[in-house]
Amino acid sequence: MNFGPLLGALALASVLLPVSATASSASRPATQTAQTTVSAVRLPLVVREARVMAVPPTATETSAGMVLRNLGSKPIVLTAFRSDVAARNELMTMHHDAQGRMGMVTVKSLTVPARGELVLKPGGDHLMLMGLKRPLRVGERLTLTLVTANGQTLTVRAPVQKP
């Protein structure tokens, strides 16, 4: 089996982005608030700028964003994500209705194109954490587990940041 392309992609990812792949992100303390820790080396995804939006303590919802770069030759379809701090976690996009009003709509999937990027951000495609179980603190790091259509997962540690 030729591991050359995989090793090249991993080397490129380690040079370009502040992402570290680990066998267990829970056992390793974060050393920088901007660093994103990722576990799941099999997916050819590189994560940068992961963050969860800080909200007032009484808020019951917030959003998460990040940039997902697919180094592979096939699209990666995200079908869900998990987070322990919310009762419901939904993939969302912004939609314009027939009257031109804009609003959020839950979608069944979001696609990271082959050799392309998916930008998750407010006002566009994003992750919604609904029914927050507790107030979030600025600077704390939340674990978000992205789930693909074929059942693979990618665990991302994202800091809570002010907008």
The structural domains of the chain, with segments of one domain joined by +, span 4-161
Statement: 4-161 belongs to CATH 2.60.40.1890: yes
Q: Give SS3 for 26.
A: helix
Q: Kindly report, residue by residue over 54-66, the tens digit of the pLDDT.
A: 999 999 999 999 9
State the Cα–Cα distance between residues 10 and 126, nearest whole angstrom.
26
CA angle 94, 151, 11 (to 5 degrees): 85
CB atoms < 10 A from the CB of 31, how many?
8
Query: Is this model's pTM higher than 0.85 or not?
Result: no
Percent of the chain at pLDDT > 70 equals 75
Residue 59: HSE in the Cβ half-sphere, 13 Å Cα cutoff: 14
Q: Which of 137, 142, 136 is nearest to 159 (CA)?
A: 142
